[in-house]
């Protein structure tokens, strides 16, 4: 197993780096999009429920089907894979962001507003910090989800470990399967550590 | 005050990172005007596509390889101008892509798909190879001997005693179960579970199932423990191997036709099966197998 | 000087059979400690919430030191008015110091001034700054939390304080202490307090003048003694009679006059 790694180190590490990049790029875009959408949803519970329903429907579409639908528009490879991954993450992120925000005690919101906080100040100084645990949980889920689905994206020519894993599965190459899996797990771990660092910085 | 500067700095860094990330991914999908040769995600198609790529490169053309594209999206990719060439099968084109009824004569199948593709997709079918990788059903030899099953008609009679290992797609595909049942009658399998295509021989070998869909040139069919069933009523059309090319690319590089026709002429059902066996059974890399074949068989015959 | 004035203010909430505020007009002088008394649904909370524009009246005008509050940006308005609520609403993720410093942060005071004022206010509400400054709300008792709530509202030195049943969730012993301290704080400042309560004794003990409300209307607005001796109507009379001790304390010229 280790001799395989030694022999194919550059291929494995190349795929690893690609996969890492895809996961981080996806996560970055997913969080920003979810944050923007959530900010607008704060005002209306009805809109919130509707939007979460829509994304939950998207989430239930099998990845290959969604890829197939977008190839004519966006092309093969990362150009389709990443938007699809971002779309899937919206359900996890928005749901967790909104539930975190909604769980904030109404008395705090009243106190804040009564003291003269603007809506934005209320959101950033009171709601957001208190919603953090829920939001971070959502991001954790997205990391796992993204790392997994990114593997499937190999069949639309996206980069990453998927190529190695799927090829290994096709030819029953144990080394490829093993290393593909191990490296994917490492990515999920790295992302998790990165997340904890971010959490600490925000707690400040 | 210090706080504000820190916040602004963070904001700028994040903005720069995101822009560079977006630009980076946009750039990475660009490539010079290379001919994009693609393959489906199974061994045989990888080998054949690699041979196409080698042949084109040998003739001085710039090639970009986009391999292992899922069968369910590869046609879409071709007509969406994401890829330019890939190895297709006449039968697949007829039944799965065009949705027409099976035809038994190989030439007729070819002519039909050639005309239809030209008209509907502006895609050209180059010459077809004698190599036929058709749809089939494989059974564990032990089970075949137990019930005396040689043909698919025999199979249908004993379906209730047999476990089916489906690939998922096969249950729905026009040339899958629906076609079989229309011609041979209902197949009331004892059990039917879905497995990934790459696992089916594993599953049969470990006696978890008895029957599975197969492609007639799969390497593992050469093993004693597996038997390919005879399609006595001819439910399936021929699936001859041929390159499909976008007209635009063919017009820009007309020499592609001659190069790939020579390759197609070199493939036979027997040598394709042998090539598959080298990868699937002996564990060689498809790139090596393709190269060896190209050097020895195609190049030398020029 | 008139601190707060309501002129013909009306407010109706959908689905209610009577108005929350029914043509309410009242003038409150600077320096008064006004307690607003009534049972649930009488409109007392609605009244003070129109003053800091948490509710907007359907019609009528409200003046703060002569200026119509409709002409002031609500957010700015609220920063100049102290607001204390029954549920307290301290921010659990912030220290006591940061909680008290909420408005100073919004007004962008510098750190030195903020720290100085925070400590001053902690002392004012009888909490040792060194001990409490860096604690978190979860580490405080209910009584302590509401003292912080008060400190938080008082820190920017607002001329008007709105208190909505601030001691409603505090135990009886601490409530008494807090009432006394609040009265003292008020007496030493020149602020105008509007204090909502459903507790007659609290209303009479604290208020320099008392507003009695029922079903959106002000029934009587007078000193404790006046109310007891000359109740405006049967409702007020019956209200007084529910607590006989109240009359005893005030008829003989006790506190509050």
A180 to A1, A3, B122, B294: CA distances (angstroms): 12, 15, 39, 30
At the top level of CATH, the class of B35-132+238-301 is alpha beta
- For residue B8, the model assigns a pLDDT of 61
When CB atoms are compared, the residue of A111, A116, A125 closest to C85 is A111
Q: Torsion angle of alpha carbons A141, A143, A146, A148, nearest 10°?
A: -90
B230 versus B52: the higher-pLDDT residue is: B52
- For residue B6, the model assigns a pLDDT of 60
In a mutational test of the A interface, the residue from B22, B29, B205 whose CB has the highest number of chain A CBs within 10 Å is: B29
**In 3D, which of B139, B122, B135 has the Cα closest to residue B244?**
B122
When CB atoms are compared, the residue of A105, A113, A130 closest to C54 is A113
**Average pLDDT estimate for B26-35:** 62
Each residue of B92-136: pLDDT tens digit? 999 889 989 888 889 999 999 999 999 999 999 999 999 999 888
Could you say which residues of chain A have pLDDT below 50? none
B197 versus C9: the higher-pLDDT residue is: C9
Q: Which residue of A has its CA nearest to B277?
A: A171
At the top level of CATH, the class of C2-80+160-251 is alpha beta
**What are the φ/ψ torsions at residue C19 (nearest 5 degrees)?**
-75, 150
Each residue of B144-169: pLDDT tens digit? 999 999 999 999 999 999 999 988 77
- The predicted model scores a pTM of 0.75
Q: Structural domain boundaries of chain B?
A: 35-132+238-301, 135-228
Each residue of C88-140: pLDDT tens digit? 999 999 999 999 999 999 999 999 999 999 999 999 999 999 999 999 999 99
Each residue of B259-300: pLDDT tens digit? 999 999 999 988 999 999 998 888 888 999 999 999 988 776
Tell me if chain C has a CB within 8 Å of the CB of A133: no
- For residue C41, the model assigns a pLDDT of 83
Q: Are the beta carbons of B288 and B45 closer than 8 angstroms?
A: no
Q: Would B35-132+238-301 and B135-228 be classified into the same CATH topology?
A: yes
- For residue C257, the model assigns a pLDDT of 40
- For residue B17, the model assigns a pLDDT of 59
Are C75 and A108 in contact (CB < 8 Å)? no
For chain A, the average pLDDT equals: 88
For domain A11-203, the CATH superfamily is MetI-like (1.10.3720.10)
E strand or H helix at B242, and its extent?
Answer: strand B241-246
For residue B21, with 0-12 CB atoms within 10 Å meaning exposed, 13-18 middle and 19 or more buried, which class applies? middle
C-alpha A118/C-alpha A140 separation (Å) is: 31
For B135-228, CATH gives: 3.40.190.120
Tell me if chain B has a CB within 8 Å of the CB of A181: no
Q: What does the buried/exposed string (b/e) look like for B42-54 if buried means 16 or more CB atoms within 10 Å of the residue's CB?
A: bbbbbbbbbbbbb
Could you say which residues of chain C have pLDDT below 50? 253-257
Tell me if chain A has a CB within 8 Å of the CB of C167: no
- Chain A residues within an 8 Å CB radius of C153: 115
Are C89 and A117 in contact (CB < 8 Å)? no
Q: Percent of chain B scored above 70 by pLDDT?
A: 88
């Amino acid at each position: 197993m280790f001799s395989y790694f030694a022999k194919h180190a550059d291929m494995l590490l190349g795929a690893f780096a690609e996969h890492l990049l895809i996961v981080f790029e996806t996560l970055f875009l997913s969080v920003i999009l979810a944050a923007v959408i959530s900010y607008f949803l704060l005002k209306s519970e009805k809109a919130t429920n509707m939007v979460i329903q829509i994304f939950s429907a998207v989430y239930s579409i099998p990845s290959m089907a969604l890829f197939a639908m977008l190839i004519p528009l966006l092309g093969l490879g990362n150009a389709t894979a990443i938007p699809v991954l971002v779309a899937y993450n919206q359900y996890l992120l928005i749901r967790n962001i909104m539930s975190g925000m909604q769980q904030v005690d109404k008395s705090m919101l009243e106190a804040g507003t009564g003291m003269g906080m603007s809506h934005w100040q209320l959101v950033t100084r009171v709601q957001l910090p208190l919603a953090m645990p829920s939001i971070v949980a959502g991001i954790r889920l997205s990391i796992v989800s993204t790392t997994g689905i990114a593997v499937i994206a190999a069949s639309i020519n996206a980069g990453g470990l998927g190529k190695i894993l799927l090829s290994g599965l096709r030819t029953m190459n144990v080394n490829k399967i093993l290393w593909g899996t191990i490296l994917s797990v490492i990515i999920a771990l790295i992302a998790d550590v990165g997340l904890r660092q971010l959490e600490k910085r925000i707690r400040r | 005050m210090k706080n504000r500067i820190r916040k602004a700095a963070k904001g700028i860094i994040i903005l720069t990172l995101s822009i560079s990330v977006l630009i980076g991914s946009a750039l990475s999908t660009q490539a010079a005007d290379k001919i994009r040769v693609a393959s489906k995600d199974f061994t045989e198609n990888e080998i054949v596509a690699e041979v196409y790529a080698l042949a084109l490169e040998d003739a001085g053309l710039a090639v970009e390889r986009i391999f292992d594209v899922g069968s369910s999206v590869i046609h879409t990719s071709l007509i969406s101008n994401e890829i330019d060439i890939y190895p297709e099968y006449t039968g697949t084109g007829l039944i799965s892509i065009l949705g027409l009824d099976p035809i038994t004569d190989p030439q007729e199948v070819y002519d039909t798909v050639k005309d239809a593709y030209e008209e509907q997709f502006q895609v050209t079918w180059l010459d077809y190879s004698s190599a036929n990788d058709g749809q089939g059903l494989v059974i564990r030899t032990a089970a075949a001997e137990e019930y005396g099953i040689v043909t698919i008609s025999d199979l249908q009679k004993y379906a209730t005693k047999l476990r089916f290992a489906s690939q998922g797609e096969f249950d729905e595909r026009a040339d899958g179960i629906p076609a079989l049942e229309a011609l041979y009658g209902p197949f009331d399998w004892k059990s039917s579970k879905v497995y990934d295509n790459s696992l089916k021989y594993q599953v049969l070998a470990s006696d978890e199932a008895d029957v599975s869909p197969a492609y007639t040139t799969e390497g593992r069919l050469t093993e004693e423990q597996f038997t390919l069933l005879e399609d006595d009523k001819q439910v399936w059309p021929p699936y001859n191997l041929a390159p499909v090319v976008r007209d635009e690319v063919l017009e820009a590089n007309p020499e592609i036709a001659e190069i790939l026709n020579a390759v197609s002429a070199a493939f036979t059902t027997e040598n394709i099966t042998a090539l598959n066996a080298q990868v699937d059974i002996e564990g060689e890399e498809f790139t090596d197998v393709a190269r060896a074949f190209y050097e020895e068989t195609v190049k030398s015959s020029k | 000087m008139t601190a707060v004035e309501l002129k013909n203010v009306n407010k109706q909430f959908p689905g209610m059979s009577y108005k929350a505020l029914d043509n309410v007009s009242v003038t409150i002088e600077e320096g008064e400690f006004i307690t607003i008394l009534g049972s649930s649904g009488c409109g007392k909370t609605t009244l003070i919430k129109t003053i800091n524009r948490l509710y907007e009246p359907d019609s009528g005008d409200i003046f703060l030191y002569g200026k119509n509050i409709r002409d002031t940006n609500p957010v700015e308005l609220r920063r100049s008015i102290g607001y204390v609520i029954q549920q307290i609403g301290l921010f659990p993720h912030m220290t006591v110091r940061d909680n008290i410093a909420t408005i100073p942060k919004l007004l962008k005071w510098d750190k030195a001034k903020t720290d100085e004022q925070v400590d001053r206010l902690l002392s004012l509400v009888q909490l040792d700054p060194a001990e409490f400054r860096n604690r978190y709300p979860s580490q405080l008792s209910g009584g302590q939390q509401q003292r912080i709530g008060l400190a938080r509202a008082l820190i920017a030195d607002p001329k008007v304080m709105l208190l909505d049943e601030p001691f409603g969730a505090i135990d009886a012993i601490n409530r008494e202490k807090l009432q006394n301290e609040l009265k003292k704080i008020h007496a030493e400042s020149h602020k105008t307090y509007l204090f909502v309560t459903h507790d007659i004794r609290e209303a009479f003990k604290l208020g320099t003048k008392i507003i009695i409300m029922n079903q959106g209307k002000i029934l009587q607005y007078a000193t404790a003694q006046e109310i007891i001796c000359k109740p405006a109507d049967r409702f007020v009379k019956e209200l007084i009679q529910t607590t006989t001790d109240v009359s005893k304390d005030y008829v003989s010229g006790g506190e509050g006059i």
